[in-house]
Amino acid sequence: MTVLRSLVLLGAFAALFPVGSVQAEEEFPLAINVRQMHMETALTAARAAMAACRAEGIQVGVTVVDRRGIEQVVLRDVVAPHLTLGVSRMKAYTANEMSVATSALEEDGYRSPLAHVPGLFLGAGAVPIEAGGVYYGAIGVSGAPSGMQDEACARAGAEAIEIELEMNM
């Protein structure tokens, strides 16, 4: 085989298997920006939730999780049972993972296959934190006589920072 013929065959073969970066039809960013609450903002939400429950004479535990479900702030009022910390965390985690208020999951409750997933809590008491179309995480409350009271306090916490988050976009 001649050198020229070998080079032609090699070139034809190489054309079948392009080397280098393959460009997709659509451009995509090499990195994405993710907005996250500052710790002070999460603390403001937790304090507002606690204040809402205190106004009703209820001592609670409050957990704020970021969009990954990791705790940012955990508070327990003076005489709230220690148990409220774990329950508020599970509620916040569940609201975050499902992107809904946990009261929406309560109806099927423990008949749902989700009831067997460790770390989830299928009862009222937590709401997602969203503002201006951006998802930030969730806030969960535990310690009130009912989950709906917990959730009302959680909603007060989320609403306390909603405008601040929207203005900071």
Question: What's this model's pTM, rounded to 2 decimal places?
Answer: 0.81
Q: What is the pLDDT of residues 104-123, one digit of tens each?
A: 998 877 778 888 889 999 99
- Would you state the structure tokens that stand for residue 140, as one six-digit string? 């969960």
Give the C-alpha separation, 63 to 4, whole Å: 73
pLDDT above 60 for 125:
yes
Q: Which residues contact 159 (CB under 8 A, 6 or more apart)?
A: 48
pLDDT above 70 for 148:
yes
- Would you state the structure tokens that stand for residue 30, as one six-digit string? 């090499």
37 φ, ψ (degrees, to nearest 5)? -65, 140
What are the chain's domains?
A: 39-167 (3.30.450.150)
Q: What share of the chain is helix, strand, coil (3-state, %, to 5)?
A: 45, 15, 35
